[in-house]
Amino acid sequence: MKPLTHFTERSETEPNRRMKMLRFRSPSIRSLDQEVLCTIRLLDDSEISCSIQRDTKGQFLLDHVCNHYNLLERDYFGIRYVDPEKQRHWLEPNKAVVRQMKSQQPYTMCFRVKFYPSEPMKIKEELTRYLLYLQLKRDIYHGRLLCPFAEAAYLGACIVQAELGDYDPEEHPSDYIRDFKLFPKQSLKLERKIIEIHKNELRGQCAAYAELNMLQRAHSLETYGVDPHPCKDFTGSTAFLGFTATGFVVFQGNKRIHLLKWNDVSKLKFEGKTFYVIGIQKEKKLVLTFHTSTPAACKHLWKCGVENQAFYKCAKSSQIKTVCSSNIFFKGSRFRYSGKVAKEVIEASSKIQREPPEVCRAQFGQSRSYNSLSHKNLIMNMEPLVPALPSPNEYEETATENDSQGGVDLLFSSPVQSPARLLRELHADPDIQAQLEAERERDRAYEHTRLAARSRMGGVLGSSLRLLSSNERVNACVLSVARFVAVVMGVLLVTVPTLLLLLESDIDVSFLHEIRQTPEFEQFHYEYYCPLRRWILCRISMAMENLWSD
């Protein structure tokens, strides 16, 4: 492996970089100059670190790790992180790292296998097979790769042979397997079977050959490559969803209850916490519905499904389309897998001509799972800071201050109210009291006459208007509905002519031509507009036929 290095992404020369930053205001320049420290945990539990800028994209970190390994077959791998809500995500290569990470700096991520090769024998280089071996060893230890007793014993023996070599009675005591933490529940019976296979069946195999035997045996298991997503089906039962090179799978307990091949999956979508798999099975339409714990988990599940379907199903990356999470126009998330597909990766692997790089395998003491940084510590490093709330005493002090400054006693004790005392003294004069009483009588008579005239002229309409004007909630509701209708009408008046200009006209303007060539517009044209136009024309022709027949 290459030694640990300290990277900072600076792809432009200093003058060009200075000229480019003139477009931003000074706060943006300061934020771009700030460097962020990223720590990436590798498959053998070692760590590498690098510094990035705030606009660095995820592809830089993936390339950094692959360059550290001197890895060429890098399309099987990805970088995973956990947000403060304990939700896992894959780092998207085309987006800035800082925009994706929601945790506190410095960032902690993991380098993992994202797409498991359907045929490990087609992997060209030993280095790639070793990294896949490390990932499968983690899957076994964490209980993701389920296997029967005989298969578990053989896989465990392959791991022991790869890390210890041939059995030597002088070096290996009778309980030497106990030093290996291979399975979540490792019984004494299983350890004895592993020792038996290690002694008799695997003697003479080098580490690379033992790892290849493990890959060959593991890839035939049902849970090979399955990253289980917990959810509930329509009956409320707990299920685990996963995606493999074959297709979409559903497990309940240790039993696989559904396998829908990628060619039979027509659409994956989600709405809120509900995930839908729409496909065809035995020439019948099939809709599977599942419910996740949070909308973020549902969106992550949907993205994983879209990426796996594109990677394993498409023949070329140019065939990959942008996928919308819902059938409703202008609603839902849009996502597109941007990497190579499995067939392109295998083809590129067959063309590698370099000398195989040296594989630096971790020593026995370094590769044990319980000596690594635990997943709990990784999560704790990503916990958000809880905002400090004022104490009860602070609340009491604030309330006391407000009460003392806004009380009625303070208002009337102010010297500003001295004219009130003057008014009271004036009102005590008998002449002034008589004049005020006469004015009140004239006001009452005028008000009575005005109300009588309004009641005669207004009638029922006047009473309805008074009732409506007295209800402020109804007025606000009507006003908001009127504004909404006006906005919708304005949007329709702009968008409908524009869409008709794009879809029906033959005007070949450069910017219209560019819009027509985008994959999103082509998808909308062929999947939504053309069926809608055929349906409208069919209804019009049927109506015309009915009129002529009458």
- Our CA dihedral for 247, 252, 258, 263, rounded to 10 degrees, sits at -20
3-state SS class at 284: strand
pLDDT value for 434: 58
Q: Which of 180, 141, 186 is nearest to 162 (CA)?
A: 180
Q: Which residue has the tokens 């208002």?
A: 411
pLDDT value for 405: 35
Sequence letter at residue 142: H
Mean pLDDT, consecutive 10-residue stretches, the chain (550 aa), reads: 43 43 42 79 93 92 95 95 92 92 87 95 94 96 92 95 91 86 90 93 93 95 94 92 95 91 92 92 89 94 94 91 68 82 94 90 55 33 32 36 35 38 46 59 70 62 51 70 88 83 74 74 78 86 82
First to last CA, the chain: 85
Residues with Cβ within 8 Å of residue 148, at least 6 apart in sequence: none
Pair 183, 156: CB distance under 8 Å: yes
3-state SS class at 257: strand
Beta-bridged to residue 280, according to DSSP, are: 285
pLDDT value for 306: 94
Pair 209, 222: CB distance under 8 Å: no
Strands (E), 220-283: 229-233, 238-243, 247-252, 255-261, 265-271, 274-281
Largest separation between any pair of C-alpha atoms in the chain: 127
pLDDT value for 505: 74
Pair 232, 290: CB distance under 8 Å: yes
Beta-bridged to residue 259, according to DSSP, are: 249
How far apart (Å, rounded) are the C-alpha atoms in residues 242 and 228? 5
DSSP one-letter string for 465-525: HHHHHH-HHHHHHHHHHHHHHHHHHHHHHHHHHHHHHHHH-----HHHHHHHHSHHHHHHI
DSSP 54: T
How far apart (Å, rounded) are the C-alpha atoms in residues 120 and 217? 10
Q: Which of 334, 331, 337 is nearest to 520 (CA)?
A: 334
How far apart (Å, rounded) are the C-alpha atoms in residues 68 and 6? 11
Q: Are strands 77-82 and 238-243 parallel, antiparallel or unpaired?
A: unpaired
Which pTM does this prediction carry?
0.63
pLDDT value for 390: 34
